[in-house]
Chains A and B, each alone.
Chain A
Amino acid sequence: MIFDTFSYFLLFLLPAALLFRGVAPSFRAPVISLFGAAFFIYFSLTTVGGVAGAFCLGLFLWEALVSRFYRPGSALCLLGIVQALVILFVFKYWNFTAGLVAGPGTSWRWTGAFLPLGISFFTFEFIHYARDRRENRTEAGGFWEYLAFILFFPTMVAGPIKRYQDFLPTLRSPTRDWANDFERGCTRILAGLAKKFVVADCMTSLTQHLNATDIARAERWILPFWLLAYAVKIYFDFSAYSDIAIGSARLFGMKVKENFDWPYAREDITSFWRHWHMSLTRWLTDYVFIPLGGSRVATGRIYFNVLATFLVSGLWHGAGLNFVVWGLWHGAALCVHRWWTGLRGDCVPSTPVRWINWGLTMTVVTLGWAWFTMDLPTALLFYKRLFLG
Chain B
Amino acid sequence: MMTARRFLGSLVVLAGLFLLFNLLVHQLSRGSLPRKLLRAIRSAPDTELAAIGNSLVEAGFNPGEFSRGWSQDGSNIRAFNAGLGSTGPVEHYLVGRQILRYQPHSQRIVYGYFDFQLTDDGRGPLSEVFANRSISLIYEPDVAAGYLFTNGWSERFFPWLARLPVFVERGSIWAKVERQRRWFGDLGLPRSDSNHFGRAEDFRYLETSTPEDFQEKCRGAQAQRRPITPAVDALFREADGHGVRIYVVEMPMTRRHRDRTYDSDAWRNYNDYLLPLLAQYHAVVISAGDWVPDELFADPLHLGPAGAVEFSHRLGSAIRTLENQRSPGPAEKAR
Q: Measured between C-beta atoms, what is the minimum distance from B194 to chain A in Å?
A: 14
Q: In the complex, which of the residues A11, A182, A209 contacts B185, with contact meaning CB atoms closer than 8 Å?
A: A209
Q: In the complex, which of the residues A7, A202, A214 contacts B189, with contact meaning CB atoms closer than 8 Å?
A: A214
Known: A6-B126, A205-B182, A205-B184. A179 touches B3 (CB 8 A): yes
Contact A183 B189 (CB under 8 A): no
Cβ–Cβ < 8 Å partners of A51 in chain B? none
* Other A-B pairs, 18, CB within 8 Å; known A214-B189, A219-B189: A6-B126, A7-B153, A180-B1, A182-B7, A183-B2, A183-B7, A202-B181, A205-B181, A205-B182, A205-B184, A206-B184, A208-B185, A209-B185, A209-B189, A218-B189, A222-B188, A222-B189, A225-B187
Cβ–Cβ < 8 Å partners of B182 in chain A? 205
Contact B2 A180 (CB under 8 A): yes
Q: List 6 A-B contacts (CB under 8 A).
A: A6-B157, A179-B8, A206-B184, A208-B185, A209-B189, A222-B187
The answer to the question of B74 belonging to the interface, with a C-beta cut-off of 8 Å to chain A, is no
| A-contact 0/1 string along B1-22, CB 8 Å cutoff | 1111011101000000000000
Known: A179-B6, A179-B7. A217 touches B190 (CB 8 A): yes
B window 157-187: CB within 8 A of A = 157, 181-182, 184-185, 187
* CB nearest to A178 among chain B residues: B4
Interface residues of A (CB under 8 A from B): 6-7, 11, 178-180, 182-184, 202, 205-206, 208-209, 214, 217-219, 221-223, 225
Q: In the complex, which of the residues B10, B126, B157 contacts A183, with contact meaning CB atoms closer than 8 Å?
A: B10
Contact A217 B153 (CB under 8 A): no
Bound form: Cα–Cα A218–B1 in Å: 53
Bound form: Cα–Cα A318–B17 in Å: 44
Bound form: Cα–Cα A352–B10 in Å: 45
Residue with the highest number of chain B CB atoms closer than 10 Å, among A11, A205, A218, A219: A205
Contact A205 B185 (CB under 8 A): yes
Cβ–Cβ < 8 Å partners of B8 in chain A? 179
SS class, residues of chain B in contact with chain A: helix
Cβ–Cβ < 8 Å partners of B2 in chain A? 179-180, 183-184
Cβ–Cβ < 8 Å partners of A214 in chain B? 189
Q: Measured between C-beta atoms, what is the minimum distance from B243 to chain A in Å?
A: 42
Cβ–Cβ < 8 Å partners of A183 in chain B? 2, 7, 10
SS class, residues of chain A in contact with chain B: helix
Interface residues of B (CB under 8 A from A): 1-4, 6-8, 10, 126, 153, 157, 181-182, 184-185, 187-190
Contact A221 B188 (CB under 8 A): yes
Cβ–Cβ < 8 Å partners of B6 in chain A? 179
Bound form: Cα–Cα A11–B182 in Å: 35
Bound form: Cα–Cα A6–B6 in Å: 26
Cβ–Cβ < 8 Å partners of A179 in chain B? 2-4, 6-8
Contact A219 B184 (CB under 8 A): no
Q: Measured between C-beta atoms, what is the minimum distance from A384 to chain B in Å?
A: 17
Q: Measured between C-beta atoms, what is the minimum distance from A115 to chain B in Å?
A: 20
Cβ–Cβ < 8 Å partners of A206 in chain B? 184-185
Cβ–Cβ < 8 Å partners of B189 in chain A? 209, 214, 217-219, 222
Q: Measured between C-beta atoms, what is the minimum distance from A202 to chain B in Å?
A: 6
Q: Which 9 A-B pairs have the closest CB atoms?
A: A222-B188, A205-B185, A179-B7, A179-B4, A219-B188, A183-B2, A180-B2, A205-B181, A218-B188
Cβ–Cβ < 8 Å partners of B190 in chain A? 217
Cβ–Cβ < 8 Å partners of B184 in chain A? 205-206
* CB nearest to B10 among chain A residues: A183
* CB nearest to A208 among chain B residues: B185
Cβ–Cβ < 8 Å partners of A225 in chain B? 187-188
Cβ–Cβ < 8 Å partners of A182 in chain B? 7
* CB nearest to A226 among chain B residues: B188
Cβ–Cβ < 8 Å partners of B3 in chain A? 179
Cβ–Cβ < 8 Å partners of A6 in chain B? 126, 157
Bound form: Cα–Cα A235–B66 in Å: 55
Bound form: Cα–Cα A184–B188 in Å: 42
Bound form: Cα–Cα A223–B188 in Å: 8
Bound form: Cα–Cα A6–B160 in Å: 13
Q: Measured between C-beta atoms, what is the minimum distance from A154 to chain B in Å?
A: 20
Cβ–Cβ < 8 Å partners of B7 in chain A? 179-180, 182-183
Bound form: Cα–Cα A106–B8 in Å: 61
Cβ–Cβ < 8 Å partners of A223 in chain B? 188
Cβ–Cβ < 8 Å partners of A221 in chain B? 188
Cβ–Cβ < 8 Å partners of A178 in chain B? 4
